[in-house]
Structure 1
């Protein structure tokens, strides 16, 4: 079976989960336009989130970064400290970029802490944050990434498990209450990105 998700697979999975296939397609359309992989490289689509990387790093690592910054200001940084600081600044400069720049930031984060980089990144068709792996039915973030690499069908399954794990989110999707859905799926700042309106527009366009 191929890595790409078929319309029939999506319809079957959505129906089995108790959701309208059209509504599920609307989410995917807004998140990634319908592909879980970069069309140029074939890699999983990612969005590295600097704020989550800052939040999830161990204290010892943040202290090492602070020490590297202090040493750099005094021009006493070791090569290792200079490399650490360079990688840190690369991660924190990331915004919503094309996949080439996302990968630069993500790779820099991996050199600092691979697991935290994975946790702090959204993956594949549903742009699912790595730290949501348990709600997706996967034991670890590493398992999530590997599952997502295998197929878009796996990505869809994980997304539907995540939605069903949060009753208000699942109920909002069944009602097509895009504002409530956006709040639980995209976060409290969803209005800044018109996420609810984009979902409604995508749903209407799929009629």
Structure 2
């Protein structure tokens, strides 16, 4: 089972964020110290600015005061209700995060899948990115990698390069990237679009969805593996819409999308051999093979360095 600090670090931005927590509670002030841009959301690059041990102790204090049997110091849904009751805060309304046309995106049922064992800790930004990825999603990545006979380290490297996270920490929405040239191919029309973070990507998606919903779904990549909507055929879902809703619901479904793509396109050999140029060309397209393969090589070197220092990526 994950430690309280690991659980709480993984939960922020998925199960709850600063906006869901009473400002009078001491734990709020602990989180606020890590919110460098003051947007009431702890982004991935702000996670290390939070004293998660102190925060977990504050959670434990709330549980003990409320007489919780076997307090675990983890801020889950029940403890969040205790906080709101104690400080007079009303629960946030409903579970719907965003509605785009008739597409209703709800809070994730499974935002993280942390592995058992101690939390991995990195010494620099690159190592911390790998460690955070494993601490949040290691159970799903490790379990499915073993099932398909693919080295977990290699899968971890791909996820690190693709997105590094399953959900936007601030909004709780699945990570996306809209591709206008794919939309043009399927819709036969242009739309106004831009780059600049997840808020911009969702504006892109909403604009495209208003023109042609199906083309918008097909022309966007989703989640940890950044799987394109037109690649739904590698998953168990019948449509891109079904896949998107499943990815919003579960990080494990996102991980399954990656392994489905790899196995149905017979890319296992490239991963096993760490032939990243061949893998990059087939997984991410021929346009940026040099850049993408270099990033994969670099991620693998960081993983190997962590292993040499005693980190293990096993369940």
Whether the TM-score (by the shorter chain) exceeds 0.5 is yes
Judge which range, 134-143 or 37-46, deviates more: 134-143
Distance 2:212 2:283 in 1: 26
CA contact (8 A) 1:44 1:123 kept: yes
**Uncovered stretches (5+) of structure 2, i.e. residues with no partner:** 1-108, 115-137, 305-315
Partner Cα separation in structure 2 for residue 24 and residue 16 of structure 1:
13
Which residue number in structure 1 is paired with residue 198 of structure 2? Answer: 99
Distance across 2 between alignment mates of 1:102 and 1:146: 17
Q: Distance in 2 between matches of 1:191 and 1:179?
A: 6
Query: Which residue does the alignment assign to 2:151?
Result: 20
- The total of aligned residue pairs comes to 173
Q: Which has the higher contact order (CA 8 A, sep 6+)?
A: 1
CA distance in 2, matches of 1:180, 1:114: 33
Q: What is the distance in 1 between the residues matched to 2:191 and 2:145?
A: 41
Q: Deviations over 1:64-90 (max 9, x none)?
A: xxxxxxxxxxxxxxxxxxxxxxxx542
The two structures have a TM-score, normalised by structure 2, of 0.53
Distance 2:278 2:191 in 1: 35
Q: Any idea what the Cα deviations from partners look like across 1:121-144, whole Å, max 9, x if unmatched?
A: 000000000000012232110111
1:190 deviates by 2.0
SS in 2 for 1:37: coil
Q: Which runs of 4+ in 1 moved over 6 A?
A: none
| Match in the other structure for 1:8 | 139
Correspondence list, 1:13-162, <5 A: 13-33=144-164, 35-57=165-187, 62=189, 88-91=190-193, 94-95=194-195, 97-162=196-261
The answer to whether 1:179 aligns with 2:277 is yes
Task: Look up the SS of the partner of 2:221 in the other structure.
Answer: strand
The structure with the greater share of residues assigned to helix is 1
Q: Which has the larger radius of gyration?
A: 2
The question of 1:199 aligning with 2:307 is answered no
Cα deviation, 1:108-161, whole Å, max 9, x if unaligned, reads 001001111010000000000000001223211011101101111110011101
The secondary structure found in structure 2 opposite 1:199 is helix
The CA deviation at 1:191 is 2.9
Whether the 8 Å contact between 1:5 and 1:151 is mirrored in structure 2 is no
Is the contact between residue 147 and residue 154 of structure 1 (CA under 8 Å) also seen in structure 2? Answer: yes
Distance 1:184 1:198 in 2: 15
